[in-house]
Structure 1
Amino acid sequence: MGIFKVTPLRKRQFIGGLIGILIGAGIIGFFSLKSSEEYISLGPMNNGHEEISCVVCHADANGNLVQQIQSNISHAAGIREKSVDFGSKDVTVKNCLECHDRPNDRHPTYRFSEPRFKKAIKNIDATTCITCHSEHNGERVSLKAVNYCMNCHQDLEVENDPVDVPHSELIAKEQWFTCIQCHDFHGNHRYVVPTKLNDTIPLDRIQVYLEGGEDPYGSDKKYLGLSEPEWIKTLQKK
């Protein structure tokens, strides 16, 4: 008689464990495929990002899974000063600027890190793209209100104001929604800015645009974002 006897219970445990390992490996393999990205996404990709794969923004975090767990447990226990990214790295402004860096940007994110904007960014954190362009919402802009100009332009003065309703009057009446009817926030569109309020882009068309619809400012842009193949080539050069 052998020292170890395989009982029906142990046999069932072994078979169950083996099946569990095979199922786990199959799930991991499935979700590793590019075709399965739609199942693990937090929501629909924003306008213009539909064909971009997850890894373009979500790079793997440093270290393996065990190291990441150990580091974060150490942080929770007070042994380690900082936590580490788990699974994938956090998406930052740097990720966005890999494709959308514009030398002509009227409102570049780095500018809002200046001390003079300290009060403004408490209301709207313009130091990061995702404040306005939160991904996985299937739209261009995720802000609920388009009155964001009020945070920096309360004291705006325009010399030789060309608009039939002066900027000073619009500001006094807090008609901040009219700003975007004339002005492209990033200044990347080539178009003629109207001088009459009645000729501005209707607010309902602006709202359709923010939700991912037709661009009311036109298709003539000074700089275009990189496509995924171009972005990959950029990374390969670094």
Structure 2
Amino acid sequence: MFKVSPLRKRQFLGGIIGLVLGVSLFYILTLDATEGYVSISPMNTGHNELSCFACHADAKGNLMQQVQSNISHAFGARDESVDFGTQDVTVNNCLQCHDRPNDRHPTYRFSEPRFKDAIKHIDATTCITCHSEHHEERVSVENINYCMNCHQDLKVENDPLDISHVQLIAKKAWNTCIQCHDFHGNHTYQVPEHLSDTIPMQKIQAYFEGGEDPYGMVKKYIALSQEEWLKTIENSK
């Protein structure tokens, strides 16, 4: 009679234990209660109450179908790969909560041909260029002189500023733009007429990193909460 060696028994038992632990761990990490352990790092300011699925929707098909499709793509039997696990986050995910009719710089505008050179330097067609998630801050873009990419020829009629916009542009003082104007134009506040009264850069930087809003708390449109977003999705069905 064929006898199984003690080593084979231990290997078989170890494999069974490993399989059970692997499946159990995979299941546990898919639970809502364990989202904090799955997230690659803390959520950005204002997104603290969002769950992962608010941005990371499940990819189409089951796990096996996704694996098979991507293997087929790797061997040239399929033209395109498919999302694995979850769908890629796109600008549409952001606009589900942040779509505002008064946006001074809506993402769709930068798809126009006249901005083709500007977006080579800063891709404003997508939110994550400036608001990359999981950095525990509001704005993740490194340099705030981005206005230079579109406004080199800006001229303001009856310019109210004591140091004109033309002069500031000539000096390449592009960092001063954000000291007067919030990029999306969603704050309700009085724009200063003296450069000395503008918001200090230290406060702007602190705001970008998640601190107090220097433009004030009065906004024209408030982003949807996850509950409001879910209701909107449900009502649209």
TM-score normalised per structure 1: 0.95
Q: Which runs of 5+ in 2 are unaligned?
A: none
Partner of 2:208: 210
1:47 equivalent among 39, 45, 48: 45
Partner of 2:6: 8
| Same amino acid, percent of matched pairs | 68
Let me know the Cα RMSD of the aligned residues: 1.3
Return the alpha-carbon distance in structure 1 between the equivalents of residues 179 and 132 of structure 2. Answer: 22
Return the alpha-carbon distance in structure 1 between the equivalents of residues 41 and 26 of structure 2. Answer: 20
Moved more, 76-85 or 120-129: 76-85
The one-letter code sitting in structure 2 at the alignment partner of 1:153 is H
Whether 1:158 aligns to 2:156 is yes
> SS in structure 1 opposite 2:102?
coil
Moved more, 169-178 or 34-43: 34-43
Partner of 1:58: 56
Partner of 1:81: 79
Return the alpha-carbon distance in structure 2 between the equivalents of residues 7 and 181 of structure 1. Answer: 76
> SS in structure 1 opposite 2:19?
helix
Partner of 2:17: 19
What are the equivalent positions in structure 2 for 1:87-166 lying under 5 Å apart? 87-166=85-164
Return the alpha-carbon distance in structure 2 between the equivalents of residues 237 and 122 of structure 1. Answer: 39
- Give the Å deviation of 1:145: 1.2
Q: Which runs of 5+ in 1 are unaligned?
A: none
The one-letter code sitting in structure 1 at the alignment partner of 2:146 is Y
- Give the Å deviation of 1:5: 5.0
> SS in structure 1 opposite 2:179?
helix
> SS in structure 2 opposite 1:11?
helix
Moved more, 98-107 or 17-26: 17-26
The one-letter code sitting in structure 1 at the alignment partner of 2:39 is S
> SS in structure 2 opposite 1:20?
helix
Q: How many residues align?
A: 236
